[in-house]
Amino acid sequence: MTARTRADLAAAERIVVKVGSSSISGEAAWRIPVIVGGLAEAHARGAEVVLVSSGAIASGIPFLDLDARPTDLATQQAAAAVGQNVLVYRYQQALQPHGIVAGQVLLTTGDLEGQTSRSNARRALDRLLGLRVLPIVNENDTVATQEIRFGDNDRLAALVAQLIGADALVLLSDVDCLYTKPPSDPSAQPIDVIRIGDDTSGVEFGASVVNGVGTGGAATKASAARLAAASGIGALVTKAELVSRALAGEEIGTWFEPASTAPPANA
């Protein structure tokens, strides 16, 4: 059932959830069991859930004795190769008490551009979901280069939601919702709903940022949510710790209302 409102998330049958590096890496790793708990609740009611998770590079940095996020491509790729294994292991450990098995799916832009590879990716995800596995999707940072990257995993999550015909997209952040200005600004106001066609030219979502562990920001989430909404998939932006409440359909976060008619999906 396509989620037309936040309340519909409680009955959505296929959901894509995205979480960024800053929400789960380093001292924030405690959120992994919290996020998994919310996903497990949706899984238990019969929903099919796909998790798009950043964090491979950030998870690999400590194992390579690096003091900060590497700036050269080769070291980033090496950190991703080490960190992806660590990241999925942490998720599987958190999923184990819930009796859920994780499946790793790494994608590049080419996987979603060509008709054959796109169909292969969709078939693999469909089968994993049919087997009640929780796919954990990430960009294949070990082989991706700047020229062939998705740009950020918020966009990847929106594209995956389109690929599998998801009923809803939930983008998890470090803040409870989107604001008219950076949350640190005293004049910032929370944004409840953004509808198709709404003029947000005067809204300062905040620029995309590159911090110590990852890339992203409110602007990238708004862009990805708009992409999903334009294709008929409702999207919610909210705080990572609130994922359980979000998937239960509570009135939290910023809701991007989906278009009434979606353009035909690519084969």
Inside any domain, residue 155:
yes
The verdict on whether residue 59 carries a ligand-binding annotation is no
Inside any domain, residue 266:
no
∠ at Cα 252 (186, 166), nearest 5°? Answer: 130
Range of the domain at 244: 6-256
The verdict on whether residue 18 carries a ligand-binding annotation is yes
The verdict on whether residue 174 carries a ligand-binding annotation is yes
Under the banding of pLDDT at 50, 70 and 90, the label for residue 66 is confident
- Report the distance separating Cα 69 and Cα 211, nearest Å: 9
For 255-266, write each residue's pLDDT tens digit. 999 998 655 555
Inside any domain, residue 58:
yes
CATH of the domain at 69: 3.40.1160.10
pLDDT at 175 (0 to 100): 87
- Report the distance separating Cα 232 and Cα 199, nearest Å: 19
Mean pLDDT of 18-28: 90
Mean pLDDT of 98-114: 92
Q: Does residue 267 register a pLDDT over 50?
A: no
Q: Which residues of 103-131 are buried (b: 16+ CB within 10 A; e: fewer)?
A: bebbbbbebbeeeeebeebbeebbebbee
Share of the chain above pLDDT 90, in %: 62
Under the banding of pLDDT at 50, 70 and 90, the label for residue 149 is low
* Ramachandran assignment for 26, one of left (phi > 0), alpha (psi -120 to 50 degrees), beta (any other): left
Inside any domain, residue 263:
no
Mean pLDDT of 154-179: 94
Q: Does residue 181 register a pLDDT over 90?
A: no
Number of domains in the chain: 1
The verdict on whether residue 184 carries a ligand-binding annotation is no
Q: Does residue 169 register a pLDDT over 60?
A: yes
Report if pTM > 0.85: yes
Six-digit token string for 225: 């949510």
Inside any domain, residue 265:
no
∠ at Cα 240 (212, 187), nearest 5°? Answer: 80
Inside any domain, residue 262:
no
Inside any domain, residue 261:
no
Inside any domain, residue 219:
yes
Q: Does residue 232 register a pLDDT over 90?
A: yes
